[in-house]
Amino acid sequence: MWPKNWQQLQQAAIAALRDGTELPELEPDESGDVTIRYGSAGLCVRVNRDTPQIGIFSRALLDVEATPALLDALNELNVQHRPATFYFYKSTVVAATEVDCDPFHPPALLRALRFLSQLVDEIDEDLSLRFGGRTCLQEAGPSADPGTACQRVN
């Protein structure tokens, strides 16, 4: 059974993220999102307020045009890298995944975070070279620097 409400789930998720990333300074922003930097990827962790799920997303490529070739590449990524989903939204390529939290299992959250962060860190620069635009972040190593990684994308 998941925590009684989204606030309890958020508290449990933040505790798991702090422990699993060894970033004790992680805090949610004003909208409740937690941002983690990994390599060139900025990831946002968001507790769903209506269902027992945690979404993880990354703005993998910014300021890019939606060309047919880019959309084809995103479809290929969707086939190759399940359970990640890639989509185009307002000149941004977004990579996302969700974690079911009924019950909440901290290792599942950490696996999903590691999976998406490594995937985005591996592919974002290649996408930028192929289709233009820029990656979200350019620094290596995990940190809790929020930057603009959690700008609303949905």
Banded pLDDT at 138 (limits 50, 70, 90): low
Q: Which is nearest to 138 in space by CA: 3, 65, 40? A: 40
Give 71's Cβ-side CA count (13 Å radius): 7
Q: Regarding predicted confidence, which is higher, 5 or 138?
A: 5
Amino acid at 40: S
Banded pLDDT at 2 (limits 50, 70, 90): low
SS3 readout for 107-149: HHHHHHHHHHHHHHHHHHHHHHHHHCCECCCCCCCCECCCCCC
Where do we find the tokens 């192929």? 130
The answer, as to whether pTM is greater than 0.95, is no
